[in-house]
Amino acid sequence: MISEPSGAEECFAYITLPGETDAVTAGRFALTTGRQDVTTGRFVYGRSYLARPSAVEINQVPPITKRHLGIRAVETREPIRVIVLRALEAYGVPVPDEAISDRRKMRAT
């Protein structure tokens, strides 16, 4: 579950841990716009969440998979998001056409 105040560029992420019924705050997700107007998202775990013995990792993409996605992104010059969405579409998961586009602004040459 995610809470998002209207107009905000950050939100808090909540998770119901295995064997529990109440959600706890897991961390904060924030969007930042950097150089060339590229927006990047970053998730930071809360200290109190990490102190819980029952805390689980939210991002469960294996490191080797991340590495191969990064290599493919460099080879194809596409963002990882586009590569993943194309793969989901090829697998039969409906993905809107407008979602499969490179939203990065290209430099003028």
Q: Model confidence over 25-68: pLDDT tens digits?
A: 999 988 887 777 777 788 899 999 999 999 998 877 888 998 99
Please give the residue range of the domain that contains residue 84.
61-103
pLDDT at 79 over 80: yes
In a domain, 14, yes or no: yes
Amino acid letter, residue 42: R
Q: What is the pTM of this model?
A: 0.50
Q: Are residues 48 and 80 in the same domain?
A: no
Return the pLDDT at 106.
53
**24 and 48, same structural domain?**
yes
| Same domain? 82 vs 40 | no
Shared domain check, 46 and 79: no
Q: Is residue 16 part of a domain?
A: yes
Residue with tokens 């119901």: 16
6 and 28 co-located in one domain: yes
Do 46 and 7 reside in the same domain of the chain?
Answer: yes
- Counting the structural domains of the chain, the total is 2
Q: What SS3 class is residue 24?
A: strand
Do both 22 and 38 map to the same domain?
yes
Average pLDDT over residues 64-78: 92
Residue 2: band (very low, low, confident or very high) from pLDDT cuts 50, 70, 90? low
For residues 65 and 51, membership in a common domain is answered with: no
Burial of 26 (0-12, 13-18, 19+ CB in 10 A): buried
Round to the nearest angstrom and report the end-to-end CA distance of the chain: 43
